[in-house]
Structure 1
């Protein structure tokens, strides 16, 4: 069993409302404090993900995004401010998170990550959370996390609809992203062309942050093999189950539960 350093008095106070939860307790908070997480995307989804993971005390957050803050981002990307317009999103996000929790180590990766970059920055991480609107980046992250045997939390939001799911490659029964979307590809549909409701990305990103903390602390049942969707029009939530595909070109060769 892994032994973690004791929480300091300051940490016991700061994270006391987590520690009071029997599902987390001191050990769960220690696991969160000693975790390293790569968050790909510091935009609409990345904002609540980063804010809640930093507030929860994740030991190291690696923030990857190659964009600059634009005024059109501010309607939904709440980790940034008007004063950040024109600066790197990684720099803007890190400044906000540093003010929120100075105990969190922040690594700024001011570049878009291809498969090679994802492999490099995911090495040594306990978890990857992806909040970009690119199918290609999700496929790349899926393949990298599969090879490294670490969990991946995915989310998406466009217009008035959002979705989230998790893949835990420490479990041999976990499907992969290609099992869920075997024929997915990028289209012209994006927030810049289709629009998106500001609070919707907050709802989905908060689900992703919750999934990340569950996987890190080791409690509850994550959305492995389940796709959670939300329609902001009537605030309806639905859950769809999916399984590993025996013909999946990405994960079919992995061991399978009897």
Structure 2
């Protein structure tokens, strides 16, 4: 994955340099034109940050999330010369709990319940859709456009990890309890910065960085008769994304 991004970035910047040299002389009329609306498709990497990435059992917001792929549909409609309404839809996979995560949570519950032991089994992955909208301002230099956007919207969770916990040696919690996978919506906000290179005929390439933050979807439990230790009420989500792709002006 890292090698793929390195090659894509190298190819992009080589094309930028070539295009920049070819555009050294540019008509003032072109510079003064209103920016054109566009639609883009891209892919890249989404990384968890903060509580979402944390693997601290004692932090109820810890998500144990991992880096993964992100796919993007993004665009902007210009109402003024350089001001637009931008929109973005991204689908991301932030991985699942691994063996070490299960062991860390198991030991935490054993300590919290003062139990003889505990068995933790997790399945399902973090899969979600970000739907964001907000004002965008663009700076144009030769064939390059630099986009800056603030946005707000929602995260639609398709799945969060399901965690089954079996406490051993505690009569008040003799049965297995379950932390359910969430498919809820949650408010989200963020920002982005992008560089677009016009390669001609209304087509171009782009590199974009996204930041998204949310208190996250609601988490529920069943069969938990004694509440001690780690209890997740909402799964906080903070993501940083790097996306490469193709855009078309219209």
With the length of structure 2 as denominator, give the TM-score of the two structures: 0.20
Q: Which has the larger radius of gyration?
A: 2
Between Structure 1 and Structure 2, the one with more strand by share is 2
